[in-house]
Structure 1
Amino acid sequence: MSKVLIVAGDSRGLADCLLEAISQSDPLTEVLICGVSDLYSGAIADGGSIVCPLTLDVPSDLVFPGQDVFRFGANVVAARDRVAQELQVPVGDGNFWLPVVLTAKGPLYAEAIAAESDKLSGELSYRQPLHLSDVWRQQLYELAFGLLNLLNAPPATYLMQFGFVGERICFDRLLPFPAAPAIASVGVQVPDLFVCHWYCLTNKPIYDMQITSWCS
Structure 2
Amino acid sequence: MLKVIIGIDEERHSRVLAEALEEAFCSRIALTASADPPIVQVLAEGFILPQEALFCPLTLKLPSGLDFPAKAVYQACQAVEDLRQVVQGWGYGVGEGRYWLPIVRTAKGSLYAEAIALTPEGTYVQPFDLVDGDRQPLYHLSHRLLEHLRAAAGVYLVQFDLTLQEIVFDRLLPFPDVPALASIGVQSPDLLVCHWSCLLGQPLHDLTIVPQLPETV
Tell me the residue number matched to 1:103.
106
Cα deviation code 1:141-161 (max 9, x no counterpart): 000001001111111100000
Using the size of structure 2 for normalisation, the TM-score is 0.90
Q: Equivalent of 2:170, from 168, 172, 177?
A: 172
CA RMSD of aligned residues (A): 1.6
Aligned residue for 1:211? 209
In terms of mean alpha carbon deviation, does 25-34 or 54-63 score higher? 25-34
- Identify the match of residue 19 of structure 2 among 4, 13, 16: 16
**Cα contact 2:98–2:159 (8 A) shared by 1:** yes
Assess if the C-alpha contact under 8 Å between 1:90 and 1:165 holds in 2.
no
Aligned 8 A contact 1:22 1:29 in 2 = no
What is the percent sequence identity of the aligned residues? 43
1:64-213 counterparts in 2 under 5 A? 64-85=68-89, 87-118=90-121, 124-213=122-211
Q: Return 5+ residue gaps in structure 1 as ranges.
A: 119-123
User: SS of the counterpart of 1:62?
Assistant: coil
Return the letter of the residue paired with 1:67: K
Cα gap change, 1:215 to 1:113, in 2 (>3 Å): farther
> What TM-score does the superposition give when structure 1 sets the normalisation length?
0.90
State the shift of 1:8 in Å: 1.6
Distance in 2 separating the partners of 1:204 and 1:215: 30
Distance 2:167 2:134 in 1: 7
Instruction: State the alpha-carbon separation in 2 of the partners of residues 200 and 154 from structure 1.
Output: 9
Between the two proteins, the alignment pairs up a number of residues equal to 207
Whole-angstrom CA distance in 1 between matches of 2:98 and 2:135: 16
**1:29 maps to 2:35:** yes
CA distance in structure 1 between the aligned counterparts of 2:113 and 2:156, rounded to whole angstroms: 10
Alpha-carbon distance between aligned partners in 1 of 2:46 and 2:73, rounded to the nearest angstrom: 24
Structure 2 unaligned residues grouped into runs of 5+: none
For 2:73 and 2:18, how far apart are their aligned partners in 1? Answer: 20
Q: Is the 8 A contact 2:46 2:65 kept in 1?
A: no
What one-letter code is carried by the residue in structure 2 that aligns with 1:29? A
**Structure 1 residue 215, shift from structure 2 partner:** 6.9
Match of 1:5 in 2: 5
